[in-house]
């Protein structure tokens, strides 16, 4: 007992100590940054996922791509490839690689050579070639590349010399470079993969990652934290902070409170209206127009959702204006189509599904749906750019649906379980969304609603329509923007009529941070990047 009482006395005295004098901020806290992320990454390799949470934790921190997209100049800029040319009428791309780029040196791997063409070939073959030794590691499933058709588009990746790589396409594609600049097309280390293979530990490649990115991986404790350390010999300007921690905090309220107490330096998906009402000057809320859409997808493979009339009727039953007001607090725009109005391919479509419970009731009856019909609404358990609170949105919709005689049940699981079950199509309907990985309008159509996306599991409506696929194919085969715009317009008309999903809102993207945090920008496409992160602590 006496020992414990000593501890308690110590505890109280420390408490008093800390209150009585403002001690200096200890060094580890000065040059470290805490980002309170909203969930666990599924893996440490973005090639294998489409989830924004995983991309945030991996893509820009641990890895680099061949090329990057500069949103300000709206052009592609060099990254691991210093320059590139399109040859053979756009069927062959030649990339010249950067020299003297080092991979991470950690306690589980020490690189003996610089980055070269072998690494590029290895990284692309991982998802491209089903015979590659690493293809099946982790399930052999690469949803982004399958959904965008990149795995079909690229026929070969060739090493020309140690610093030159050729990528050969089956046909010219206007979205190729855009897809290559996304967070998913990252470069892994072949040397590390070989080392793991000889130790028979292949599955570790995505658990203890090695890349060329500005940070190297230190530790991951599921549900609690991910720790990173600065990559000292990074090939371009790196961060000024030494340590980066992702503190995993799924609860939005707790995230906000932790930002207020200073336990987080940066948080994603803040409760914007709450924070503004707090009115604290040391907290900055930033917003950015972001190409995204949240929608309510019907599983069109399950009756009665295979009937377009039912989908239309349910769309009429939802009061989307109320959702914009209560869920987004007005910080979003009612979605007329899945393509955001900021896209160049967007055309003025007229809003078709106005809130009309009368009509919804009538149409449901015509489609043979009885009163008291039971259905499930799956609501994503995490906050996303496009949806700050899906569960609450589902509650609103639940009462809208009750009005038209539909009894809806809300279903939610832990995020990774949720995604797993969703890709197995266990849902009736789901409230989810999408944000663009690149500036090409194709990114809103093929990954979401093509037949290929049904197979890869990212088509949440499981909707496969040959005519629609045909239009999308035509749209990517041409480089004439006027013609593409026309084609996407007709694609949207078809969607409006078939209604495999109900678009709900295009939201602003928000991030809140302590005002001393510098260099953590909000990229319009893709995950967060801490490459230039730094802290400017006020003088003591």
Binding site for another protein (CB under 8 A): 1, 4-5, 7-8, 10-11, 14-15, 17-19, 23, 26-29, 32, 34, 218-219, 221-225, 227, 243, 245, 247, 249, 251-254, 257-258, 260-263, 271, 273-274, 277-278, 319, 322, 325-326, 389, 391-392, 395-396, 398-399, 402, 410, 413-414, 417
Number of CB atoms found within 10 A of residue 302's CB: 16
Which residue lies nearer to another protein by CB, 294 or 389?
389
Q: Residue with structure tokens 């052009």?
A: 75
Residues 435 and 337 sit within 8 Å (Cβ to Cβ): no
Which residue lies nearer to another protein by CB, 17 or 160?
17
Minimum Å gap between C-beta 253 and another protein is: 5
* DSSP-derived secondary structure letter, 93: E
Residues 364 and 313 sit within 8 Å (Cβ to Cβ): yes
Which residue lies nearer to another protein by CB, 10 or 537?
10
Which residue lies nearer to another protein by CB, 5 or 89?
5
Instruction: Return the closest-CA partner of residue 266 out of 250, 286, 281, 290.
Output: 286
Long-range contact pairs involving 111-116 (C-beta distance under 8 Å, separation at least 24): 111/189, 111/191, 111/192, 111/210, 112/191, 113/191, 115/80, 115/187, 115/189, 115/212, 116/162, 116/163
Which residue lies nearer to another protein by CB, 129 or 274?
274
Residues 299 and 429 sit within 8 Å (Cβ to Cβ): yes
Minimum Å gap between C-beta 101 and another protein is: 27
Which residue lies nearer to another protein by CB, 320 or 489?
320
Cα separation of 492 and 483, whole Å? 14
Minimum Å gap between C-beta 382 and another protein is: 13
Minimum Å gap between C-beta 486 and another protein is: 39
Q: How many CA atoms lie within 13 A of 79 on its CB side?
A: 24
Record the tokens describing residue 72, joined without a space.
């300000």
Minimum Å gap between C-beta 396 and another protein is: 6
Which residue lies nearer to another protein by CB, 399 or 483?
399
Which residue lies nearer to another protein by CB, 13 or 478?
13
CA distances 437 to 183, 443, 459, Å, are: 7, 7, 16
Q: Where are the alpha helices (DSSP H) in 296-441?
A: 308-317, 320-326, 357-366, 390-403, 415-423
Record the tokens describing residue 195, joined without a space.
């080392």
Which residues of 261-412 form beta strands (DSSP E)?
266-268, 283-289, 292-298, 332-334, 373-379, 406-411
Minimum Å gap between C-beta 521 and another protein is: 22
Kindly state the helix (H) or strand (E) to which residue 507 belongs, with its residue range.
strand 501-514
Which residue lies nearer to another protein by CB, 15 or 537?
15
Minimum Å gap between C-beta 212 and another protein is: 23
Minimum Å gap between C-beta 406 and another protein is: 14
Minimum Å gap between C-beta 48 and another protein is: 16
Burial class (CB in 10 A: 0-12, 13-18, 19+), 449: buried
Angle between helices 117-128 and 190-198 (to 10 degrees): 70
Minimum Å gap between C-beta 9 and another protein is: 9
Cα separation of 181 and 444, whole Å? 16
Minimum Å gap between C-beta 252 and another protein is: 6
Which residue lies nearer to another protein by CB, 202 or 309?
202
Which residue lies nearer to another protein by CB, 310 or 397?
397
Record the tokens describing residue 506, joined without a space.
């295009």
């Amino acid at each position: 007992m006496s020992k414990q009482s000593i501890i308690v006395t110590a505890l109280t005295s420390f408490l008093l100590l800390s209150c009585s004098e403002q001690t200096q901020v200890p060094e580890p806290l000065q040059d470290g940054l805490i980002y309170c992320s909203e969930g666990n990454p599924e893996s440490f390799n973005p090639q294998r996922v489409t989830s924004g949470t995983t991309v945030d934790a991996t893509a820009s921190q641990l890895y680099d791509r061949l090329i990057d997209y500069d949103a300000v100049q709206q052009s592609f800029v060099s990254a691991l490839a210093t320059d590139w040319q399109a040859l053979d009428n756009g069927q062959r791309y030649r990339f010249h690689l950067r020299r003297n780029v080092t991979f991470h040196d950690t306690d589980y791997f020490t690189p003996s050579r610089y980055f070269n063409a072998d690494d590029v070939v290895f990284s692309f073959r991982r998802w491209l070639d089903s015979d590659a030794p690493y293809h099946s590691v982790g399930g052999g499933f690469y949803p982004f590349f399958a959904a965008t058709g990149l795995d079909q588009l690229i026929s070969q990746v060739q090493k020309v010399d140690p610093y030159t790589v050729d990528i050969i396409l089956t046909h010219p594609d206007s979205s190729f470079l855009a897809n290559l600049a996304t967070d998913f097309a990252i470069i892994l280390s072949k040397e590390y993969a070989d080392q793991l293979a000889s130790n028979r530990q292949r599955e570790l490649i995505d658990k203890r990652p090695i890349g060329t990115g500005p940070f190297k991986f230190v530790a991951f404790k599921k549900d609690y934290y991910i720790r990173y350390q600065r990559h000292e010999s990074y090939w371009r300007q790196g961060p000024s902070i030494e340590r980066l921690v992702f503190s995993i905090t799924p609860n939005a309220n707790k995230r906000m409170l932790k930002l207020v107490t200073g336990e987080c330096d940066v948080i994603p998906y803040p409760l914007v209206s709450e924070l503004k009402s707090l009115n604290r000057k040391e907290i900055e809320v930033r917003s950015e127009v972001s190409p995204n859409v949240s929608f309510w997808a019907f599983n069109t493979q399950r009756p009665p959702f295979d009937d377009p009339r039912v989908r239309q009727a349910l769309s009429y039953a939802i009061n989307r204006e109320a959702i914009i007001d209560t869920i987004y607090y007005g910080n979003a725009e009612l979605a007329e189509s899945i393509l955001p109005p900021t896209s160049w391919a967007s055309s003025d479509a007229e809003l078709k599904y106005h809130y009309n419970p009368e009509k919804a009731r009538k149409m449901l009856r015509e489609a043979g749906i009885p009163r008291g019909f039971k259905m499930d609404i799956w609501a994503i358990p995490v906050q996303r750019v496009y949806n700050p609170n899906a569960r609450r949105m589902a509650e609103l919709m639940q009462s809208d649906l009750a009005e038209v005689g539909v009894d809806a049940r809300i279903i939610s699981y832990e995020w990774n379980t949720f995604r797993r079950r969703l890709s197995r199509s266990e849902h009736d309907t789901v409230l989810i969304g999408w944000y663009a990985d690149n500036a090409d309008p194709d990114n809103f159509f093929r990954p979401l609603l093509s037949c290929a996306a049904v197979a890869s599991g990212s088509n949440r409506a499981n909707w496969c329509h040959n005519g629609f696929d045909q239009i999308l194919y035509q749209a990517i085969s041409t480089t004439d923007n006027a013609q593409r715009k026309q084609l996407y317009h007709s694609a949207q008309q078809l969607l409006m009529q078939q209604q495999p999903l109900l678009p709900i809102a295009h939201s602003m993207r928000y991030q809140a941070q302590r005002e001393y945090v510098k260099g953590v920008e909000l990229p319009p496409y893709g995950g967060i990047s801490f490459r230039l992160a730094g802290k400017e602590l006020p003088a003591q």
